[in-house]
Structure 1
Amino acid sequence: MNFPRYVVAGGVSLALHAAFMLVANQSTALAMPAGNQSTSVAINFVAAPQPVPQQAKERVVEKTVPDKTTPQAAPEPAPQSPAKVVKHTAVPKAIPKATPKVTPKRVKPTPSKPTADTVAKSTDPIATPAPKPEPVKPKPAANPVEPVAASKPAPIVSSQGANATPMMVDRPSFVSRPVRPSYPRLAQKRGIEGVATYEVWLDEHGRQIKQILISSSGTAMLDQSALDAIKQWKFSPHIINGEALAHRVQIPVRFRLDG
């Protein structure tokens, strides 16, 4: 028999009967006293019974109905087999054996056989710089030729040209009055004096070809001042027997302070 099941069903039925009795005993009293026109209403509030859950009712019905069938015996639990105790045996650690050190043997390199390319490269001639040729020393002449003394030039005519040495003329002739040389102020302050002599080469038309300093005044500033003045002079052609000839003249330019 399932004794706990019947105890629960009996407890539930008692609770339901007590609830129905409380509801039946509830009453509302309305008192109307005689001889008084005023009315009063008294209301007694009673707590409402708690609703029984649906599942509890179903359980009560199931428990109140007698079970005609014989109750089945609950299966007995199967006996549990005792747990096996496994003993762990300590496994001895393997001691590593000392391995002998192996020294690598030195392998002698075998000389490789020369290939055709290496043989060809080794047999190629190596370019060496060619030796520089030694300069050839000129041999001295057996019989040195002595220079011949130049003879005095003959009078030059106009057909010889400007490169030949023209004839010397003692007195020059001018187309216009010559420009007077300027005396440098620095030479005047220092009291420098002197005479600069130039030789002027002229063509057949009287035009100047070149100026040569024959004798210096001793000061460059005086020589330059004389040359600047001579370059501005205009000479007339030198005519002999109706023919104009190239000639040269020497002109002394004197610088002197008066007083």
Structure 2
Amino acid sequence: MTQSANNEYRAPETLEDNAAPTRRGVSPVLLVLLAFALTTAALVWMAQHRQVSQQAATSAPTPAPTIPAADTSRERPAQAAVASKPKKAVDRVAATNRQPRAMAGNVEPKYPASMLRAGVGGTVVVMAELDANGNPVDVKIAERSGERELDRAALNAVRQWRFEPALRNGKAVASSVRVPVDFKPSDLVATQ
């Protein structure tokens, strides 16, 4: 402690450090991690960009889906395979693949008289297992109408129906088809 002539207290003078302050460097581990993160982000971006450009180059306009009159549960995997093929291949496959179709002139379901008089209607969905010739082998109800007589009439009619068989690669194959049968008393009474 030093005292000056006027008896003031002064802190001892400290030596000034004229040396440049030491600069702390960045950890090498941090630099490696930063480089790794940037490289990974660049690779991910490039992969996504490449995927998008490849999809744009290979995708062709997809035609609007058609809704068949009868739903076939066994044919769905073939439809998915057709949708993933190029356009020329789809045209070729479509010509050799088709869903089963009810033939013209099939027997109309006979509306039960008691149900008609009562004004009762409904829709019955019948599942028909078809052989390779388009003949029903097994016919059963997939969705009931709520009226036993209507269900029975629909089953009896579809058992007598004939179908154009399903084709796969140009060959007739066994398949199944869902057939909706509508019973509407108002339509029937109006036509008689």
Which has the higher Rg, Structure 1 or Structure 2?
1
Query: In which range does the TM-score fall when normalised by the shorter chain?
Result: 0.3 to 0.5
User: Normalization by structure 2: what TM-score?
Assistant: 0.45
What is the TM-score of this pair, normalised by structure 1? 0.34
User: Could you say which structure has the greater relative contact order, defined with CA pairs below 8 angstroms and 6 or more residues apart?
Assistant: 2
The answer to which structure has the higher helix fraction is 2
Specify which structure has the higher proportion of strand: 2
